[in-house]
């Protein structure tokens, strides 16, 4: 199967202040390769500072790699100009770690969700665009009457849903979700996960899910990629990596979260479809039953 996205040997360094006031380069991504198959949800895990977000931004061409190659849907996009990338932007979307900074405080919520539609579907009538934005609001569990509010009139969880609505507006093929639930309360985390899952089920969305929460990755992702100091040190089917990790770093990481034989030791994130249209989650001692959006 040809992967939807394939990255080979990516490098990215940043200039940072060094000793004696000299600038030095630090390798954020150091020869990383990964593939994402169409319709797959791939987890990208690793400790803080291991290069996950930088790799995500390189894959979307939000940052230029120093070296390496990125192929999207059979097309080499490594050196495409911003202009040449523009038509691909409707396919490649992202949700970032901090929903607050991803939104423009001066624009209404409706205008932010409509923005990608204005860029990518400029010939659409105003009425149709408004209807689509309202549909996206409903899809993420926000009342369309909230369209006229500004982002500061939303809670953190609602802002993240707004970012998801905007990311889904152009019906992307690939979504890079960078710690989309980390900043949220536990109960809201489960809602946002449920929302991403419904989007995947409804449109066959392909997703790279960046997280350092192994329990959530185990629940959500078919494959997992482990980063350590800018390098991909292990990858494979999620259950295989979590039950029989081969790299010593992954072994330590997995052992700190899961017990012997890979059973969840802490934060078990289990779902069982007890009621139709609902997903039941057990997160640690807390229990949630959620209606699917
Ligand atoms: N714009 C930048 N300028 C300088 N250094 C940077 C920049 N962006 C990232 N880095 C550095 O690159 C390394 C990797 O950062 P990155 O944000 O990719 O890590 P991460 O795995 O996403 O971490 P976290 O789990 O904390 O989000 C870090 O040491 C970081 O300080
Ligand atoms: Mg990060």
Same domain flag for 73 and 109: no
- Among the listed residues 260, 235, 265, the one whose alpha carbon sits nearest the alpha carbon of residue 250: 235
Between CA 249 and CA 163 the distance in angstroms is: 33
**Backbone Cα Rg of the chain:** 20
Sheet (strand 23-36) strand order: 23-36, 5-17, 67-72, 75-76
Can you tell me which atom of ligand 1 is nearest the CA of 210? 22
Same domain flag for 157 and 197: no
pLDDT per residue over 121-169, tens digit each?
889 999 999 999 999 999 888 999 999 999 999 988 889 889 999 999 9
Give the pLDDT score at 268. 35
Q: Whats the size of the chain, residue-wise?
A: 293
Is the shortest distance between the CB of 190 and ligand 1 below 6 Å?
no
Contact 188, 119 (CB under 8 A): no
Please, what's the b/e burial string for 182-211 (b: 16 or more CB within 10 A of its CB; e: otherwise)?
A: ebbeeebbbbbbbbbbbbbeeeebbbbbbb
- Cα distances (angstroms) measured from residue 155 to each of 144, 145, 152: 16, 15, 8
Domain count, the chain: 2
Alpha helices for 237-286 (secondary structure H): 238-243, 248-257
Q: Which residue has the tokens 């009538």?
A: 125
Give the pLDDT score at 157. 83
Q: How far is the CA of 98 from the centre of ligand 2 (A)?
A: 10
Positions in the chain short of pLDDT 70:
1, 259-293
Is the shortest distance between the CB of 289 and ligand 1 below 6 Å?
no
Give the pLDDT score at 260. 59
Partnered with residue 236 across adjacent β-strands are: 224
Is the shortest distance between the CB of 229 and ligand 1 below 6 Å?
no
Q: How far is the CA of 292 from the centre of ligand 1 (A)?
A: 34
Give the pLDDT score at 184. 75
- Among the listed residues 187, 208, 201, 162, the one whose alpha carbon sits nearest the alpha carbon of residue 7: 208
Is the shortest distance between the CB of 53 and ligand 1 below 6 Å?
yes
Same domain flag for 179 and 234: yes
Give the pLDDT score at 279. 39
Same domain flag for 178 and 56: yes
> Residue 286: inside a domain, yes or no?
no
- Among the listed residues 2, 5, 66, 1, the one whose alpha carbon sits nearest the alpha carbon of residue 225: 5
Q: How far is the CA of 180 from the centre of ligand 1 (A)?
A: 17
Residue 193: its H or E element: helix 186-203
Domain range for 141 is 105-168
Between CA 39 and CA 200 the distance in angstroms is: 8
Can you tell me which atom of ligand 1 is nearest the CA of 15? 4
Sign of CA pseudo-dihedral 121, 167, 163, 52? negative
Same domain flag for 61 and 72: yes
Contact 14, 26 (CB under 8 A): yes
CATH of the domain at 198: 3.40.50.300
């Amino acid at each position: 199967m040809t992967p939807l996205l394939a990255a080979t040997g990516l490098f990215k360094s940043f200039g940072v202040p060094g000793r004696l006031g000299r600038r030095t380069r630090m390798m954020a991504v150091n020869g990383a390769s990964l593939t994402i198959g169409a319709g797959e949800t791939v987890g990208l895990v690793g400790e803080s500072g291991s290069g996950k977000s930088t790799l995500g931004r390189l894959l979307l061409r939000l940052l230029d790699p120093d070296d390496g190659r990125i192929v999207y849907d059979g097309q080499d996009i490594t050196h495409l100009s911003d202009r040449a990338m523009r038509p691909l932007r409707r396919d490649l979307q992202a949700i970032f770690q901090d929903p607050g900074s991803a939104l423009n405080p001066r624009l209404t919520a409706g205008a932010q969700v409509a923005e990608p539609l204005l860029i990518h579907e400029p010939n659409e009538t105003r009425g149709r665009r408004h209807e689509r934005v309202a549909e996206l609001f409903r899809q993420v569990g926000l009342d369309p009457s909230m369209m006229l509010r500004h982002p500061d009139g939303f809670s953190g969880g609602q802002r993240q849903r707004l970012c998801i609505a905007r990311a889904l507006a152009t019906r992307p093929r690939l979504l890079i979700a960078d710690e989309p639930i980390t900043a949220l309360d536990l109960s809201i985390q489960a809602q946002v996960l449920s929302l991403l899952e419904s989007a995947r089920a409804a449109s066959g969305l392909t997703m790279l899910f960046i997280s350092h929460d192994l329990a959530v990755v185990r629940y959500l992702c078919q494959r997992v990629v482990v980063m350590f100091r800018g390098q991909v040190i292990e990858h494979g089917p999620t259950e295989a990596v979590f039950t029989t990790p081969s790299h010593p770093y992954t072994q330590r990481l997995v052992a700190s979260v899961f017990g012997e034989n890979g059973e969840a030791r802490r934060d078990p994130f289990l779902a069982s479809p007890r009621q139709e249209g609902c997903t039941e989650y057990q997160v640690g001692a807390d229990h949630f039953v959620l209606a699917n959006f």
